[in-house]
A and B are shown apart, each in its own frame.
Chain A
Amino acid sequence: DADVTQTPRNRITKTGKRIMLECSQTKGHDRMYWYRQDPGLGLRLIYYSFDVKDINKGEISDGYSVSRQAQAKFSLSLESAIPNQTALYFCATAWDRGTEAFFGQGTRLTVV
């Protein structure tokens, strides 16, 4: 089983719908991240959390919210999906400052 698991792997949703992407990890890491990847733009940070009580906005948080339900779970919500939120979304974890990030398999989200 993967150490960082994202569900769903693929999702098509309609404009205006609320959608939640889930991430769970078995690595025991405190730090968790949500990124989105768009062609030519690389990975951009949406939100990050350094522990259950610590949530921080990233570069592109508008239109998104997150919930850190437990050390192992970090969910990303799109309150009212719009087409330009069509992207590949990655969850990641890291053990400590300066250590490498481990990524989930990604969720391909299409908003029509």
Chain B
Amino acid sequence: AQKVTQAQTEISVVEKEDVTLDCVYETRDTTYYLFWYKQPPSGELVFLIRRNSFDEQNEISGRYSWNFQKSTSSFNFTITASQVVDSAVYFCALSDRDTGNQFYFGTGTSLTVIP
């Protein structure tokens, strides 16, 4: 079974629009960790955020914000006022005891910001 689902394969937005990337996860553990990574066209994987299952407080970092909702098993990522530099593939990941504390990645969402 897919432990992390990113249903949006590709998204295109016009610069300055807001965009939300969806992430739905599945786990039986009560303790788990969620992550978002960015992969720009250059190919490296850049860590964006980590959230543990006991902290449902939403987080904002500049134009980035994350909405964690345990009731819907979702950890969505919003970019406000998107910029061309935000064009990248974004991955959501889960780590829990079921997976031996590995990192289980979604299939990624490719975001294109059109100038």
How many residues in B have their beta carbons less than 8 Å from beta carbons of A?
Answer: 24
Contact of B101 among A41, A98, A100 (CB under 8 A): A98
User: In residues 82-98 of chain B, which contact A (Cβ within 8 Å)?
Assistant: 91, 93, 95
- Interface of chain B, helix or strand or loop or mixed? loop
Give the complex CA separation of A35 and B104 in angstroms: 10
- B47 near A105 with CB under 8 A, answer no
Residues of A within 8 A of B106 (CB): 42
Is A55 an interface residue when CB atoms closer than 8 A count as contact?
A: no
Nearest chain A CB to B97's CB is how many angstroms away?
9
- Which residue on A lies nearest to B33, using beta carbons? A98
Is A74 an interface residue when CB atoms closer than 8 A count as contact?
A: no
The residues of B with any CB-CB pair to A shorter than 8 Å are: 6, 9, 31, 33, 35, 37, 43-45, 47, 50, 52, 91, 93, 95, 100-108
Is A101 an interface residue when CB atoms closer than 8 A count as contact?
A: yes
- A56 near B100 with CB under 8 A, answer yes
Residues of B within 8 A of A42 (CB): 6, 91, 105-108
Nearest chain B CB to A52's CB is how many angstroms away?
17
